[in-house]
């Protein structure tokens, strides 16, 4: 052992006890202010501007979590969103959020963070013994182990695996935070605010474009904050700050920090997530925690930079092993040194910069292990500059230190291994351009041999890559490229090329070098000894990739599924390329030949709550409220959803003990005296024009031309395939003026259908439609005393007698106080009944008036349930009968089909099979024992037949207890139904396993002659 193996230098405590590793101020830190947070209950100090990762490092905390499968102690690998290891739980209770990356979590006063996937404590994790089970956790372990006996899987193996392997715990309660969505538009969207992004935004804005600049970080500047680049003799981060300030002052530029553009979609749409209040203890009242943006952009410049690759070597996952670029970020931006004695391991010149930055921060750099042979002149110069030993052509063969790095084994080019004490190993395996957004939408990346990385060579139209994302290796190149593309994008989005003036670009003091030499499998098979991790988050090792190759899962998509490589929160950002290279090596092929998987949105995790926005709980969908809603609620109704309409289901009285009792009373009241029900929800379409009747003829199966003014008629619509679509009544108000009603459920679909018929099929027809559903409060007043009640309301001059205003009459009327309305003599209940329509603003008052003037008759408001019972008693088809599978013939309306005209569905309705008498046809059913409940969905079988599909002859569509008949009754469809009235059949309910005997009857249970209707 030589002198380099000397023990670590003692703590020097530069800035007092609390943040021993804070060496300087850092360009992104407000060092004048101290805040407190806790990690696993320990109170620690930090400064505004810190991430949880930088704050933990400042306090000398290196062990942050335990790994997914093996519970290996893990620290902080990166300084950005690609972090695979440092996942923690944030906050507590309902706001607990697992799997949060410490590297992008901003520390605030009072933040509570806890480590996860450990028991009982992070340092003494009992499940660390999982490492001993490593053979069963190898690639494909899900598929290979625990397969037998099958019954053990759910009860034994899975719970054990779930406890042992895993990440954080989700909150058990509903998320109490708010989320919202917003849309933004721009000519040019710039993603990323490093040198390329800032230059692009500045140039695009200068050329007259509306610009949105999105930065996922809390500060702009990108790598300018992580490096010590000097631009025009000033620190690069200062130029970034000035440029941001300049851009903010421009009216057409919008800078969105803490906003991650997570997806690229077609039509120039991007998804972005803004972390509005994640960096504060409690959002202000009403303020969302996160805001989901849809950004619509004419052109987009991706200046997303790059992600550094780790190097695969044995035990490369110990806390204290960190990406070299991340080391620089902690040193320069956060003023934190992640260790006191460092070794650098790199295959490129960029990694060397960590040596200089650490050295200047007072960290001893013991050695530079440069895999290149010969090493670059830059490496030699750096080793001299920082006083480090240089191992050209060297490799790291192993590491020690259980909960934190203590030493590395360096193998020199001659193959000799020696131990070097260090608590920080900065590694750089080169950089991958961050091209995730460019590859959304099935753009395939290609491998660039010079850059040793995947790039996008032909981005989608309107998309441009700038800076390192496009392979630009120097700050000057990034600035120039961003500037040129910013101008080009502005022109591409329609800006005048003459607009704007050229701006002077700053120049970097030095030209950064890269000089990468590939390093994918430095030690060959030997490098797979111990655990050489490729995917830290999923604990996938080099051995797992080799195993997958041997077992035939060598295609990239198979490799991913077989080993779980590239899954979970980091999606393999630091792992994928190393794994592909390893697979290529195993197969003796090039990386280009091996290929890569493509990625889907989101590029960073996105909370489901943010995708839902404000549409959750009761506001998941909007509610439509009928005009009598407030009155009905006051009257104590129970509400039900009818589509998005909220309707009164029934109106219980205090003495009633069940809804059935309530509904029975409501039905009896209507049948014996009078009741009323808000039917505003039925679709109402105003139809006008010289060809209005022609259109009705074409959309309804029956005839309309001869319908007199002042009359209404029932109509049935088919779809073009001959099956029933919708029904309702349409009234003729004037020569060329009709008002159509539709079912509540189909109101929108019928409007769309009418518009289709008019615009696509018969554009020559002179007819106009508009919805008037909301304009009128329409109330059904039904029962033998309904006329008496209406006499109290309608102006005396209007003759309500049966002779003057008979069944299916329609008229404009005036109420006694002068309000104008419409009166229809329509009946869904089969009783003498009217529907009265008044302008919606009077609906509430009309309900109250009906209660008052109807009191002497015992008027009863009724809800949708009683409405349903009465329509079943009368055999009126509704939703369950018009289910899209029934024809006019099935509904017993075959004879309505006009033979004198063309109408939608006529040709197809005539098909032999659709007119077959054997088709199940509408019938009524009554159980032999009145109290035997009939259930919708039950199957109809011949009496005594086995309950199997071969005997199935139909089904029940609607059923109810009829207080009028005092029996259960049902509507259903039965093969040869109309010929079988009187027959007793079996009703089989396979869910309950019951068979009930019932008699087939005509589908009208009450007043079959219709004398009540016409009274």
Query: SS3 for 291?
Result: strand
The footprint of other proteins on residues 883-902 (CB under 8 A) is 902
Nearer Cβ to other proteins (300/849): 849
Figure out which of the listed residues 623, 653, 705, 929 binds other proteins, where binding follows CB under 8 A.
623
Quick one: which segment of 158-166, 358-366, 466-474, 904-912 binds other proteins (CB under 8 A)? 904-912
The distance of closest approach from Cβ of residue 842 to other proteins in the complex, given in angstroms and rounded to an integer, is 4
Among 94, 126, 182, 917, binds other proteins (CB under 8 A): 182
Q: Which is nearer to other proteins, 57 or 794 (CB)?
A: 794
271 vs 319, beta carbon nearer other proteins: 271
What's the min distance (Å) between Cβ of 185 and other proteins?
Answer: 4
Cβ nearer to other proteins, comparing 268 with 430? 268
The CB-of-844 to other proteins minimum distance in angstroms stands at 4
Interface of this chain with other proteins, residues 645 to 674, rule: CB under 8 A? 645
Which of 580, 837 has the CB closer to other proteins?
837
Reported residue count of the chain is 1015
Answer for the pair 683, 746: CB distance below 8 angstroms, yes or no: yes
| H or E element, residue 954 | strand 954-962
Write down the least CB distance from residue 285 to other proteins, Å: 7
Choose, by CB under 8 A, the member of 124, 525, 587, 621 that binds other proteins.
621
> Is residue 710 within 8 Å of 798, Cβ to Cβ?
no
Q: Is residue 721 a contact residue for other proteins (CB under 8 A)?
A: yes
Q: How many residues bind other proteins (CB under 8 A)?
A: 91
Sign of the Cα torsion 875, 881, 882, 887 reads negative
Which residue shows structure tokens 């009724």?
Answer: 862
Nearest distance from C-beta of residue 748 to other proteins, angstroms: 8
Which one, 10 or 251, has the nearer CB to other proteins? 251
Measured from the CB atom, is 845 or 1004 closer to other proteins? Answer: 845
* CA distance linking residue 557 with residue 595, whole number of Å: 10
State the nearest-atom distance from the C-beta of 188 to other proteins, in Å: 14
The 8-class DSSP code of residue 815 comes to B
966 sits near other proteins (criterion: CB under 8 A): no
Q: Which is nearer to other proteins, 178 or 309 (CB)?
A: 178
Phi, psi of 30 (to 5 degrees): -95, 90
State whether residue 418 is helix, strand or coil. strand
Q: Does 907 bind other proteins (CB under 8 A)?
A: yes
Contact string 318-357 vs other proteins (x = CB under 8 A): ----------------------------------------
Minimum gap (Å) between residue 26 Cβ and other proteins: 23
String of contacts with other proteins for each residue 132-171, x by CB under 8 A? ----------------------------------------
**Which segments of 886-933 does DSSP mark as H helices, in order?**
906-909
Tokens at 263, concatenated: 């997806």
Q: How far apart are CA 390 and CA 913, in angstroms?
A: 88
SS3 of residue 33 by DSSP: coil
Binding mask 830-869 for other proteins (x = CB under 8 A): --------xxxxxxxxx--x--xx----------------
Specify the DSSP element, H or E, that contains 35.
strand 35-39
Map residues 197-226 to x or -, x wherever contact with other proteins holds by CB under 8 A.
-------------x----------------
Q: Which range in 479-487, 625-633, 703-711, 918-926 contacts other proteins by CB under 8 A?
A: 625-633
444 binds other proteins (CB under 8 A): no
- CA proximity to 394, closest of 372, 368, 414, 412: 412
| 670 beta partners | none
Examine residue 627 and tell whether it contacts other proteins (CB under 8 A).
yes
Assigned token pair, 646? 């909220």
Query: How many C-beta neighbours within 10 Å does residue 140 have?
Result: 16
Enter the tokens of residue 800: 């309500």
According to DSSP H, which parts of 267-310 are helical? Answer: none
Cβ burial, residue 32 (10 Å; 0-12/13-18/19+): exposed
Interstrand relation of 211-214 and 179-191 (parallel, antiparallel or unpaired): parallel
The least CB distance from residue 111 to other proteins, in Å, is: 20
CB burial readout 576-588, b (16+ within 10 A) else e = bbbbbbbbbbbee
Segment 453 to 472, residues that bind other proteins, using CB under 8 A: none
Here's the x/- map for other proteins, 672-711, by CB under 8 A: it reads as: --------x-----x-xxx---------------------
3-state helix, strand, coil in the chain (%, to 5): 25, 25, 45
Range 367-396, binding other proteins (CB under 8 A): none
| Sheet architecture: strand order including 683-688 | 711-718, 724-734, 737-742, 683-688, 768-771
* 680, 663 contact by CB (below 8 A): no
What backbone torsions phi and psi does residue 359 show, to the nearest 5 degrees? -55, -45
Tell me the per-residue interface mask from 473 to 512 with other proteins, x by CB under 8 A, - otherwise. ----------------------------------------
DSSP string, 623-640: -B--TTHHHHHHTTPEEE
Nearest-10 Cα torsion for 668, 669, 670, 673: 120
Site string for other proteins, 569-608 (x = CB under 8 A): ----------------------------------------
Look at residues 640, 563, 591, 606 and name the one whose alpha carbon lies nearest to residue 274: 606
Residue with smaller CB distance to other proteins, 289 or 418: 289
Near other proteins by CB under 8 A: residue from 112, 133, 171, 184: 184
CB of 635 to other proteins, least distance (A): 15
Which residues within the stretch 233-292 sit at the binding site for other proteins (CB under 8 A)? Answer: 248-249, 253-256, 259, 266-269, 274, 276, 284-288, 291
From candidates 619, 705, 929, 943, binder to other proteins by CB under 8 A: 619
Identity of the residue, 249 or 950, whose beta carbon is nearer to other proteins in the bound complex: 249
d(CA 491, CA 478) in angstroms, rounded, equals 20
Distance CA 147, CA 159 (A): 14
The site map against other proteins for 752-791 (x = CB under 8 A) is: x--xx-xxxx-xx-x-x-xxxxxxxx--------------
Cβ atoms 50, 334 nearer than 8 A:
yes
- Helix axes of 659-672 and 864-874: crossing angle, nearest 10 degrees: 60
Stretch that binds other proteins, among 520-528, 537-545, 619-627, 670-678 (CB under 8 A): 619-627
- Nearer of residues 140 and 894 to other proteins, judged by Cβ: 894
């Amino acid at each position: 052992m030589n002198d380099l193996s000397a023990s670590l230098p003692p703590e020097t405590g530069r800035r007092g006890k609390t943040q021993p590793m804070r060496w300087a101020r850092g360009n992104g830190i407000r060092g004048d202010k101290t805040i407190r947070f806790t990690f696993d209950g320990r109170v620690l100090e930090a400064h505004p501007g810190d991430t949880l990762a930088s704050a933990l490092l400042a306090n000398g905390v290196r062990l942050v979590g335990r790994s997914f499968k093996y519970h290996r102690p893990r620290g902080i690998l990166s300084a950005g969103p690609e972090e695979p290891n440092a996942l923690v739980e944030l906050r507590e209770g309902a706001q607990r959020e697992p799997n949060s990356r410490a590297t992008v979590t901003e520390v605030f006063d009072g933040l509570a963070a806890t480590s996860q996937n450990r028991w009982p404590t992070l340092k003494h994790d009992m499940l660390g013994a999982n490492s001993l089970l490593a053979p069963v956790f190898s690639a494909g372990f899900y598929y290979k182990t625990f397969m037998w006996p099958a019954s053990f899987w759910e009860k034994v193996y899975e719970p054990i695996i779930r406890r042992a392997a895993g990440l954080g715990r989700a909150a058990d309660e509903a998320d109490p935070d708010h989320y919202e969505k917003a849309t933004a538009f721009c000519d040019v969207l710039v993603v990323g605010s490093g040198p390329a992004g800032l230059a692009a935004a500045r140039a695009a804005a200068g050329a007259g474009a509306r610009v949105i600049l999105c930065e996922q970080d809390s500060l702009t500047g990108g790598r300018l904050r992580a490096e010590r680049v000097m631009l025009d003799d000033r620190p690069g981060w200062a130029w970034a700050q000035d440029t941001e300030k300049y851009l903010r002052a421009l009216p057409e530029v919008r800078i969105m920090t803490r906003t991650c553009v997570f997806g690229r979609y077609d039509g120039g749409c991007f998804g972005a997530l803004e972390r509005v209040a994640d960096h504060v203890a409690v959002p202000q009242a009403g303020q969302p925690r996160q805001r989901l943006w849809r950004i619509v952009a004419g052109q987009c410049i991706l200046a997303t930079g790059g992600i550094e690759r780790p190097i695969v070597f044995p035990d490369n996952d110990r806390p204290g092993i960190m990406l070299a670029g991340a080391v620089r970020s902690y040193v320069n931006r956060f003023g934190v040194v992640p260790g006191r004695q460092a070794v650098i391991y790199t295959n490129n010149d960029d990694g060397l910069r960590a040596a200089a930055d650490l050295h200047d921060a007072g960290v001893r750099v013991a050695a530079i292990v440069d895999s290149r042979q010969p090493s670059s002149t830059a490496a030699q110069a750096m080793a001299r500059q920082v006083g480090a030993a240089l191992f050209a052509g060297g490799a790291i063969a192993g590491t020690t230190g259980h909960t934190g790095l203590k030493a590395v084994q360096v193998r020199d080019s001659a193959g000799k291994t020696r131990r070097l004490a260090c608590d920080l190993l900065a590694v750089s395996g080169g950089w991958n351009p961050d091209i995730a957004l460019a590859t959304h939408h099935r753009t395939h990346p290609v491998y660039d041999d010079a850059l040793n990385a995947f790039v996008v060579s032909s981005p989608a139209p309107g998309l441009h890559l700038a800076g390192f994302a496009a392979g630009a290796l120097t700050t000057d190149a990034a600035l120039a490229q961003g500037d040129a593309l910013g101008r080009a994008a502005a022109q591409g989005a329609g800006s005048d090329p003459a607009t704007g003036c050229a701006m002077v670009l700053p120049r970097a003091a030095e030209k950064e070098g890269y000089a990468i030499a590939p390093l994918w499998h430095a030690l060959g098979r030997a490098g797979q000894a111990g655990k050489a991790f490729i995917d830290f988050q999923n604990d996938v090792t080099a051995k797992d990739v080799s195993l997958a190759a041997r077992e035939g899962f060598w295609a990239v998509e198979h490799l991913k599924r077989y080993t779980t490589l590239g899954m979970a929160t980091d999606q393999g950002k630091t792992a994928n390329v190393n794994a592909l290279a390893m697979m290529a090596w195993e197969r003796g092929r090039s990386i280009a030949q091996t290929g890569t998987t493509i990625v889907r949105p989101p590029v960073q995790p996105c909370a489901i709550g943010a995708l839902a926005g404000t549409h959750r709980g009761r506001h998941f969908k909007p509610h439509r409220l009928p005009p009598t809603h407030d009155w009905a609620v006051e009257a104590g109704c129970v509400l039900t959803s009818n589509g998005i309409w909220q309707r009164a289901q029934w109106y219980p009285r205090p003495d009633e003990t069940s809804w059935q009792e309530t509904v029975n009373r409501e039905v009896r009241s209507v049948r014996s005296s009078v009741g009323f029900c808000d039917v505003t929800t039925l679709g109402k379409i105003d139809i006008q024009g010289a060809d209005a009747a022609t259109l009705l003829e074409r959309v309804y199966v029956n005839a309309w031309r001869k319908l007199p003014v002042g009359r209404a008629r029932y109509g049935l619509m088919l779809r073009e395939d001959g099956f029933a679509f919708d029904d309702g009544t349409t009234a003729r108000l004037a020569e060329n003026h009709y008002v159509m009603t539709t079912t509540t459920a189909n109101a929108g679909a019928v409007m769309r259908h009418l518009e289709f018929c008019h615009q696509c099929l018969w554009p020559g027809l002179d007819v106009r439609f508009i919805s008037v559903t909301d304009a009128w409060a329409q109330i059904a007043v039904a029962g033998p005393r309904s006329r008496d009640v209406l006499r109290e309301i309608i102006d005396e001059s209007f003759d309500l007698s049966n002779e003057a205003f008979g069944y299916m009459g329609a008229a404009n009327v005036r109420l006694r106080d002068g309000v104008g309305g419409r009166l229809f003599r329509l009946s869904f209940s089969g009783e003498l009944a009217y529907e009265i329509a008044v302008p919606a603003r009077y609906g509430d008052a009309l309900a109250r008036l009906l209660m008052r003037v109807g009191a002497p008759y015992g008027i009863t408001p009724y809800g949708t349930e009683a409405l349903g019972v009465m329509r079943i008693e009368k055999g009126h088809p509704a939703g369950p009968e018009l289910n899209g599978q029934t024809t006019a013939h099935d509904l017993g309306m075959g004879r309505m089909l006009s033979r004198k005209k063309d109408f939608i569905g006529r040709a197809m309705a005539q098909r032999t099979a659709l007119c077959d008498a054997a088709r199940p046809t509408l019938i009524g059913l009554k159980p032999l024992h009145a109290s035997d409940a009939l259930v919708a969905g039950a199957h109809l079988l011949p009496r005594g037949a086995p309950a199997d599909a071969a005997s199935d002859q139909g089904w029940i569509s609607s059923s109810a207890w009829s207080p009028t008949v005092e029996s259960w009754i049902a509507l259903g469809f039965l093969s040869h139904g109309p010929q079988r009235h009187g027959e007793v059949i079996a009703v089989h309910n396979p869910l309950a396993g019951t068979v009930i005997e019932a008699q087939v009857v005509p589908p009208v249970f009450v007043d079959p002659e219709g004398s009540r209707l016409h009274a």
